Amino acid sequence: MYTELNSILSTTPDSFTQGEFILVSDRQSDASFLIHHFLSFYLRARCKVCFLGLVQSFSHYNAVSQRLGVSLAQAKEKGQLIFLEGLTESLSVLSQETNSGSQAMDFLRDPTVGLRRLYEFIRSSVSSSGGREEGAEEWGPPVLLVDDVSVLLSLGVSAEAVLDFSHYCRATVCSQLQGNTVMLVRCDGEEVVDDGDDEGSERLLKGLTHQCSLTLHVHGLPTGYCRDIHGQVEVCWRRRQGDGQNTQKKLFQYKVHDKGASFFARGTSSAVL
């Protein structure tokens, strides 16, 4: 958990905004350090967390979280964390092991089912609250984390289907249950001009941006590699204001350490759309 980032976002594990859809994105950079931050943040906040780990193993996420002072193994054991290891689930599906796993990744076997079962897995995970059984711990609002949703594109899912999936997740987690959703999406290459013929990842990024209330976009320095600064993060808040939308942006440079990250303010702009 990065205390400097908490200060930028005006949030703490004891006091944070509920019902938010947070989009983390990167371009020619790596924003995964922000996913590790939000994972440790919401576990410290005693939220019930459903984590879709589509790019790395549970062991990887657990090793990083331990450096941030959080044990994912203990969180799973207590029922606070529900972790879907996408790599393992995909292998089970592709090897025709029909009786293994949660079958949340069944779209790999039959594309016509879409992401319905993956959504149902999430809905079931976040709707089951702790404390119903005697001696069980009570958890706070549910949180969905996805690292990263653009992987679904490489698995044959269309951008439109992923956007529908994110819409249903937001409606359930953020609106109905007043929890939070954090999704990572990656875009390869340079930013393209809007010509109406965007690649899938670009359409996905634009669609998710319209759905979210907070974006953190990570990209490299315009001057190229620097040993002391690893890149830039553009933080954008979107709030409804009357008939329009108030948008505020702040730009920070960052450096990731072994047990944290440092952020340095570089500019501020705001506009009413």
Beta pairing, strands 244-257 & 231-241: antiparallel
pLDDT per residue over 75-84, tens digit each? Answer: 999 999 999 9
Query: What are the residues whose beta carbons fall under 8 Å from the beta carbon of 133, sequence distance 6 or more?
Result: none
28 bridge partner residues: none
Task: Collect the ranges in the chain with pLDDT lower than 50.
Answer: 130-131, 195-197, 267-273
**CA torsion, points 109, 112, 116, 121, in degrees to nearest 10?**
-10
pLDDT per residue over 26-83, tens digit each? Answer: 988 899 999 999 999 999 999 999 999 999 999 999 999 999 999 999 999 999 999 9
The alpha carbon of residue 88 and the mean position of all alpha carbons in its chain are separated, in whole angstroms, by: 20
pTM of the model as a whole: 0.88
Beta pairing, strands 244-257 & 260-272: antiparallel
Give ∠ CA 180-182-186 in degrees, rounded to 5: 165
Residue 92: helix, strand or coil by DSSP? helix
In one-letter notation, the amino acid at residue 185 is V
Domains and CATH numbers, the chain: 3-189+200-272 (3.40.50.300)
Side-chain half-sphere of 98: how many Cα atoms within 13 Å? 2
* Beta carbons within 10 angstroms of residue 157's beta carbon: 22
Side-chain half-sphere of 26: how many Cα atoms within 13 Å? 20
Question: What pLDDT does residue 32 have?
Answer: 93
235, 250 contact by CB (below 8 A):
yes
218, 29 contact by CB (below 8 A):
yes
Question: What pLDDT does residue 273 have?
Answer: 36
Report the distance separating Cα 242 and Cα 247, nearest Å: 13
Report the distance separating Cα 11 and Cα 118, nearest Å: 30
Question: What pLDDT does residue 270 have?
Answer: 41
217 bridge partner residues: 25, 234
